[in-house]
């Protein structure tokens, strides 16, 4: 699971108001297995063999064999490794493999590919480990915290498969906290998510198309564990309701790697039932999109899909049928316009802001996508889906033709919405300055 570039946030519903929260995390650039340069050194050959042995043992549920590839170390460190491996097996680990990319200075680095039962695609992260001489070869050093953390690295894991995928409840090791029963809150949230996941996954599949429901993994940790799992500063993690984790990468079959949805139990529990459903659906949209995205960033690093579209589309799907006035959902933007601001299409960087500016960016993204869908008439959601899918698909796989992002966006709007980008923006601005009159619910 990765932390490469900012992923999503979104407007969520709390007990009486519309509150923008976030689902974000840094991403690394897309990566693939690196081919060895020159003949393999003995250390590299040992690293490849050791990691392959560990992966086979974990997939087979043989915790003792998985730990045997590691060098001796402090008993406490071995106990932590044994606990984590045991938790991985309990979580339904199906595969654990490393594409070794570098062996130098007594360390091995590579792409870590992991999949659990109920997960349709391997999730990619980074592995970094020491190599310790042992006999005529090497052993792996015990984990030192530099590898991308997995849910079972953080505590005990309870896995529950449902028609929409699988829910992983993560509880920190040791006795439950006193007096605050955070573990009980996480367990309650995990139960709610398991009940809602089939319906949410079906709604996403109906909107986005492609893979049928049953491949999503939702991880429910306490907030302090979310920070570690998403590699975020504690203060940043405390402001998020959810985050998507998983490195943007392509697997051996050329298709994208998977992504997991991680929910902050304490914050999620404070949402209304409508807010919880919208949050979960929003995140599943991101997971579905990431599972099918084949377009690559431009040479200058620009995303093939503008973030206003990726975030606004996720909110558009998540909020369909919600019995909350559109003006309330878009209140941050409408308030800003009433104060004299012009409606502006948010830049990608706007979604890295905090506070009110971030709320305005998400409200602008949702209203922009929904305005485009409304203008398209009866095929509205299908039209904005086609726009998003076309930009997220590589040209050689049938996506929008290669061009500078602005030109590619304009051409895609004309092909899917029947209007150029400029007209789409003018219609949206008129909707916003008009207060979203007639938008419902």
Picking from 153, 182, 212, the residue at the C-terminal end of a domain is: 153
pLDDT for res 16:
32
Domain count, the chain: 2
Backbone angles phi, psi at 264, to 5 degrees: -85, 110
Region 91-103: mean pLDDT is 95
Flag whether 435 is in a domain.
Answer: yes
Backbone angles phi, psi at 91, to 5 degrees: -75, -5
Distance CA 303, CA 325 (A): 32
Residue with the larger pLDDT of the pair 246 and 319: 319
Q: In this model, does residue 36 exceed pLDDT 70?
A: no
Flag whether 211 is in a domain.
Answer: no
Burial of 355 (0-12, 13-18, 19+ CB in 10 A): exposed
Neighbour order of strands in the sheet with 216-220: 156-162, 165-171, 216-220, 260-263, 242-245
Region 177-202: mean pLDDT is 81
Flag whether 237 is in a domain.
Answer: no
From the list 311, 306, 240, 316, the residue with the least C-alpha distance to 278 is 316
Work out the number of other CB atoms within 10 angstroms of the CB of residue 204. Answer: 28
Residue with the larger pLDDT of the pair 345 and 37: 345
From the list 2, 5, 1, 83, the residue with the least C-alpha distance to 348 is 5
Flag whether 115 is in a domain.
Answer: yes
156-193: b or e for each residue (b if 16 or more CB lie within 10 Å)? bbbbbbbebbbbbbbbbeeeeeeeeebbebbbbbbebb
Distance CA 99, CA 134 (A): 22
Flag whether 246 is in a domain.
Answer: no
Q: Residues 366-400: pLDDT tens digits?
A: 999 999 999 998 889 999 999 999 999 989 888 88
Picking from 98, 131, 153, the residue at the C-terminal end of a domain is: 153
Residues in contact with 335: Cβ distance below 8 Å, sequence separation at least 6, in sequence order? none
Q: Residues 345-368: pLDDT tens digits?
A: 999 999 887 777 889 999 999 999
CATH code for position 71:
3.10.450.50
Residue-number span of the structural domain to which 59 is assigned? 42-153
Q: Is there a cis peptide before residue 136, judged by omega within 30 degrees of 0?
A: no
Flag whether 382 is in a domain.
Answer: yes
Flag whether 198 is in a domain.
Answer: no
Flag whether 239 is in a domain.
Answer: no
Structure tokens, 22: 């976030």
Picking from 100, 134, 153, the residue at the C-terminal end of a domain is: 153
């Amino acid at each position: 699971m990765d932390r490469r570039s900012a992923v999503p946030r979104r407007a969520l519903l709390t007990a009486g108001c519309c509150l923008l929260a976030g689902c974000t995390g840094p991403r690394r650039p897309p990566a693939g297995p690196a081919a060895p340069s020159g003949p393999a050194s003995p250390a590299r050959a040992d690293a490849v063999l050791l990691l392959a042995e560990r992966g086979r043992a974990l997939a087979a549920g043989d915790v003792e064999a998985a730990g045997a590839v590691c060098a001796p170390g402090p008993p406490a460190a071995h106990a932590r490794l044994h606990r984590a491996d045991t938790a991985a097996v309990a979580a339904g680990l199906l595969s654990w493999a490393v594409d070794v990319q570098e062996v130098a200075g007594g360390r091995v680095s590579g792409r870590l590919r992991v999949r659990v039962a109920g997960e349709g695609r391997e999730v990619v992260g980074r592995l970094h480990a020491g190599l310790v001489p042992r006999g005529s070869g090497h052993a792996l050093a015990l984990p030192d915290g530099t590898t991308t953390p997995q849910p079972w690295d953080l505590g005990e894991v309870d896995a529950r498969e449902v028609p929409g995928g699988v829910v992983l409840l993560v509880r920190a090791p040791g006795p439950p906290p006193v007096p605050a029963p955070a573990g009980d809150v996480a367990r309650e949230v995990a139960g709610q998510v398991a009940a809602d996941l089939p319906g949410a996954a079906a709604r996403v599949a109906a909107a986005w198309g492609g893979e049928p429901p049953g491949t999503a993994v939702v991880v429910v940790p306490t907030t302090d564990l979310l920070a570690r799992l998403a590699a975020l500063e504690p203060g940043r993690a405390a402001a998020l309701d959810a985050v998507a984790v998983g490195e943007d990468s392509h697997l051996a079959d050329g298709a994208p790697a998977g992504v997991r949805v991680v929910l902050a139990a304490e914050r999620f529990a404070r949402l209304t039932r409508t807010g919880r459903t919208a949050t979960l659906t929003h995140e599943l949209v991101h997971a579905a999109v990431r599972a099918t995205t084949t377009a690559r960033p431009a040479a200058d690093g620009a995303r093939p899909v503008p973030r206003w579209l990726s975030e606004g589309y996720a909110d558009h799907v998540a909020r369909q049928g919600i019995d909350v006035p559109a003006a309330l959902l878009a209140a941050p933007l409408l308030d800003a316009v009433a104060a004299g601001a012009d409606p502006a299409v948010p830049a990608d960087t706007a979604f890295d802001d905090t506070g009110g500016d971030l709320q305005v960016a998400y409200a602008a993204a949702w209203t922009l996508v929904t305005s485009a869908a409304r203008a398209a008439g009866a095929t509205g959601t299908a039209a904005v889906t086609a726009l998003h899918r076309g930009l997220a698909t590589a040209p050689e796989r049938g996506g929008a033709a290669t061009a500078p992002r602005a030109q590619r966006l304009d051409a895609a709007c004309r092909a899917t919405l029947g209007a150029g980008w400029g007209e789409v923006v003018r219609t949206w601005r008129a909707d916003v300055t008009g207060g979203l009159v007639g938008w419902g619910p």
